[in-house]
Chains A and B, each alone.
Chain A
Amino acid sequence: MNPPAPAALDRGALPWLFATALATTLPHAEHQPVWLSAATAGALVLAATLWWRGRRLPRGWFLALAVVAGCAGIVVEFRTLFGRDAGVAMLVLFMALKLLELRSLRDAHVTVMLGYFLLLTHYFYSQSIPTGLWLLVSLLIATATLIRLHGGPASPALPTLRYAGLLLLQAAPFMLVLYLLFPRIAGPLWGLPQDAHSARSGLSEQIAPGSIANLVQSADIAFRVRFEGVPPGRDKLYWRGPVLENFDGATWRRRPAPGPEPAIDRQGPTYRYETTLEPHQQAWLLALDAPTTLPANAYLTPTLTAVSREPVRQRQRYAFASAVEHRFNLDEGRETLRRNRLLPGERNPRARWLAAQWLAQDADPERLVGRALALFSGSEFAYTLQPPLLGENPVDDFLFTARRGFCEHYASAFAVLMRAAGVPARVVGGYQGGEPNPVDGYWVIRQSDAHAWAEVWLEKRGWVRVDPTAEVAPARLESGIAAAIPAGEPLPALVQFDADWLKGLRYRWEAANNAWNQYVLGYNPERQREFLSRLGLPDADWRSLVGLLAGACGGVLLAVVAATLYRRPRADPALRLWRRALVRLKRRQVQPAPGETPLALARRLAGQRPDLAPAVAAVAAAYCRARYGPDGDLETLRTAVAELP
């Protein structure tokens, strides 16, 4: 017995299928190999051209050859046919080639279903708002294509799209229920999206002249903070990153060394806050100096940096409490103090000579700190993002020749001077300041807030933060980098936009992103439990979740069915326009009497309100024609209503 002949595909459906293929594959062009994108585009163009000219589709052997060539290309590119990248590349390839064999309705269905599946794959790479919006549009197109396939040539484009939109809207309650109630799995199911892993700029484990100045060019968000209650003053906001104790004459490096927990002595109030850290592939959590309460899976290094046990690979929330006024490690270990006085033998001789001179005059460490700061606050030093190149002895070059530099230059030079004078000193990397977003109240700390400062250890005071940048450019701490950079110097992107509307727009966009991160992407098992206990279901296990899910879906279904059955008839469009006109007339103290027809109203007004009468007469006549006439002419009525005073 022969299988039944496949149902033929009508010509008009093909543009829909092309649109579906384009919408569902296009975002992959960003990360897949160029040759694949070119091949996909080529297949699409070829298919569209053949359709336009009404030519025959290529024969089977051509497609078989293309499949083999494409798979070979993928194997060469990815060394495998499996896994995320290779798998997605294969799907894109198949989608492109399927366009060249769209003969029957079955082929069209395969294409649309493949499109739906491809939609999912985008989330492997990005889960941002624009991606979500694009996928929503693609979903609409794919669904409309499906409707078009079933509706036949009689369905015009716009109503089809509207119908698809209606269907998706009706599905939205189910989506919401599934999203909220489907048992969450701790950790990502298929691996993280690319944008969680991508090497974003951020603080590194070492600081050399120029490293922070580069970082500051980026307006990317490093993390967001929400304070409980009033936040500390902006100049107190030192977000601590790596502490760099190892200096080779040019570069400061982190040197992890075992040691006791830091001993913190609170001197003022404690501030509670929650940070949402963007992934930066490092372990430090950038807590406010000095953290007194840490999240569960974090600890404090001997140098007071809060670190997580694992590098931060995805956006995550941490709750902290910090004492901004504090002292720590008053009895620092001997070994640590010795290490923080070390300087490499031959380099930066002039700096060491200067420090030796100061030491000879006055050996008191506090006064030595004061002398060094006084040096920077003198008029010779300038704060700039474009320091001149420094040579073999960068600290000497900076202190005695260039005298222009960014925070890392000052922090580094200060620490070198202190070490040369025998005072234990080190450089701390982190962020300073931040900017509150008035839209949602979150503080936003960007890469452009990256900062380096110094710490010295003083008898009876422990480690004391000294920020030499504050001496050169006090504005850096008070109002941020844009205020501190001298006029005329190019500013980091985005930081320079001071136009209010642009700022407002940025605040809003970032607040939207933040909300998306917090509530949509950050909806993890913990949040789900929180949500369910607020619903009165504490400790819901997956069984009760499944039950709840079934119940909620049933409830939504019933509601939808009830709404469909009892749907009130929609008012006639002409009547809606007439009612709109009546609302406007009411504002001018005109109302139809009970049982008064539009024309009668117009006649009455002709005597009473000559100012309104002509416009009302026009509306009444157009309304009568639109509502009672054999051919409802809405346009005239719409214009007439619009022209109503």
Chain B
Amino acid sequence: MSIQILMPALSPTMTEGKLAKWMKAEGDVVAPGDVIAEIETDKATMEVEAVDEGTLGRILIAEGTENVAVNTPIAILLEDGEDAGAIDAGAAPAAATPSEAPAPAAEAAPDRPAAPAVAVMDVDEEKFFADTQTQTVRDALRDAMAEEMRRDEMVYVMGEEVAEYQGAYKVTQGLLQEFGDSRVIDTPITEHGFAGLGVGAAFGALKPVVEFMTFNFAMQAMDHIINSAAKTLYMSGGQMGCPIVFRGPNGAASRVAAQHSQDYTSWYAHCPGLKVVAPWSAADAKGLLKAAIRDPNPVIVLENEVLYGQSFEVPTDPDFTVPIGKAKIVRAGADVTITAFSIMVGKALEAAEALAAEGIEAEVIDLRTIRPLDVATIVESVKKTNRIVSVEEGWPTCGMGSEIAALVMEHAFDDLDAPVKRIAGEDVPMPYAANLEKLALPQVDTIVAAAKSVCYRG
């Protein structure tokens, strides 16, 4: 039975091409792999090879023909023993492939299902605060790792100086002594490599906690964080979960200039497949890191170097965790909402005190989790206060404030009595000079002024 040879698609974007040249003539015998024609695609001139064996019975499209659509029959191949008469006998030649496979429907947009909300665990955090101790953020983070390592032997910690040096910022102090060098691992200075190695270990059923000495260096590891850790579950149809934590200090440090002083929050917040947390208090640092280690997904834990030494009340119960995806109202108020995360929560609370002295009661929301963002808590607050100021340390363009402004417009436009106000770091690389550095970062008085402006005061 004769076989139709069809105009092939030879690039992802080709829909038609020019049949530039026939390399075989009618009557020639062809074997699989023989070049039978040359075709000019949208990208290059390509050779077309025969797939089947036979004799070129008839050329249907003359060489030099332009705009030949993909899948147009271009020739007929006769199999053993057939002669050209078979073509004229009117027998419809079989297509060269099993069936006429309709190309996947791409034209009509399919019905669009609704995107489901991310499930957030409900935890009664308050009950754990019956029994607390005063702890620094640094020690709370250390305890979080130690407790989870005791609970699950698949949890291990790796990073630069985490073991023998006890942590560049002493966050991993004592872990090597308790858990040994098979679970607390000093890496070479090789962020791209050890981030990828951690992802592989997570695919291999371990639960790595990968410390970046600071998130500035995680830029070298970005490909593995996004392409390998965040996307593989989706690309595998749900087979390849990646239970990994990437943690370390993020945001402006002090007097280290532009390469070592930057807030990456909105970078990670942009990417589906990740969860992102940025705690302020020691209790949230502990509870969120524990939740992150238990989470079956890649979680970015953005800590803050300046906060490491600050003390807070922290629950002592090892079962205490903070649900990822829940913001916390750290100060109630009816006049204006201020959202903040990480170190800016402290500044927002100071601003709220100053505002109270002027008779403005601010409600301060510690976002705690950046992705998935607790939109409901923000919207509920705005419905009460009708005003909102977003505070962050990072750059303003496409920052968290931009996102919050858009969300409030989408969900609470009619409740707003003033435009959303964004307070962010200045749109400049971080300067070294002390006076310039201070000018580049949001300060309490800038937050106060913003809150007053949305209240049309001052």
Do A and B assemble together? Answer: no
A-binding residues in B (CB < 8 A): none
Residues of A within 8 A of B (CB): none
